[in-house]
Structure 1
Amino acid sequence: STSSPSSSSTSVETPVETLKSYLSELLNNHNAKRALHGVSDLVWDEEVYQYAKSFADAYSCPADGMLSHSDGSYGENLAAGFSSAASVVDAWYEEIQYYNFNNPGFSMATGHFTQLVWASTDKLGCAYKDCNTIYGRYVVCNYSPPGNVIGHFAANV
């Protein structure tokens, strides 16, 4: 028995220009949010990008949209189910509402936000995979040096 590629494939190829545009939007949106906190822009880093890309490429596109971290040496934010680069970064940034600037520290509810604006992080690499599930696009952003370092929140957020 045979099946058509469209029914057996779990990912969709993306034209290079679309890829570059989307990744550029992710970088620009990160830097717009960081500017609100007076921290320097992130720069795109090819090595960090290749790490993110290999992790995104290996994503199995589960039907439940389950996200699991790579547990590598970079900081990492993951997302699925957002239609645009801006909406991905906005979702991470919206965790600011749960962050207590009077008692800085790590929380599962604010980890995406704190990594996004972490002052000493200066390199970014993001990648994505389009899945044929209700969650659609899976996004991985990796950061170097990593943020969310215990004992350093007051100086970096």
Structure 2
Amino acid sequence: MISPLTLRINQRMALTHRIIILVALLAISVTAVSPAAKLKPKQTVPTTPPPPPAISAAAKDFLDAHNKARAMVGVPPLVWSRTLEAAANRLARYQRNQKKCEFASLNPGKYGANQLWGKGLAVPPSLAVETWVKEKPFYNYKSDTCAANHTCGVYKQVVWRNSKELGCAQATCAKESTVLTICFYNPPGNIIGQKPY
């Protein structure tokens, strides 16, 4: 027969073993589901926006020529817009495919626009812009007018202070030996009653 003292010691030991096993199981389960164990290392968020996607050499040529003219009158540079480029491209392709590279009808729309038609020669983007900028001597800033028998609206659009974005395209009509260049500007310029800069 087991004495009452031995029975109590055995019961306490059994209870102690159960408590130890229970604590061990709790420790294992807490470690398995601990949120700290599931956290990934802290990732840093960049503070500067990613650089814009690279633009084509022609786009860079258009943009550089515009921004050179704009810098000469102290207005901020334009940025290239893929949206405007796509719109100019659609219109230039339409003019090539349907109108034999004739000038496009550029009725006032949501974008400002310039176009150049060249026959029998290559028209690099910078040459198109330089042709528009050649109207500068015919623009009278003080009176905001063009000299008699001259135009200057395409020059004014190139340097229009409030225009921020640029997109251009060219189409070549080989049979007619012509090149049509179209540039769109957003917001549009040449607003009556406002000077370009």
TM range (shorter): 0.7 to 0.9
Retained in 1: the 8 A contact 2:96–2:102? no
Q: CA deviation at 1:69?
A: 2.8
Indicate the RMSD between aligned Cα atoms, in angstroms.
Answer: 2.2
Structure with bigger helix share is: 2
Higher RCO, Cα 8 Å, sep 6+: 1
Q: Percent identity?
A: 29
Q: CA deviation at 1:134?
A: 4.9
Q: CA deviation at 1:50?
A: 1.4
Structure 1 or 2, whichever has the larger Rg, is 2
Q: CA deviation at 1:60?
A: 3.3
Retained in 2: the 8 A contact 1:105–1:151? no
Q: In structure 1, what is the equivalent of residue 194 of structure 2?
A: 152
**What TM-score results when the alignment is normalised by the length of structure 2?**
0.63
Equivalent positions of 1:8-157 (< 5 A) are 20-60=56-96, 66-71=102-107, 72-81=109-118, 83-105=123-145, 109-153=151-195, 156-157=196-197
Q: 1:103 to 1:48 in 2, by over 3 A?
A: same
Opposite residue 46 of structure 1, the aligned amino acid is: R
Count of residues in correspondence between the two structures:
136
Q: CA deviation at 1:87?
A: 1.2
**What TM-score results when the alignment is normalised by the length of structure 1?**
0.77
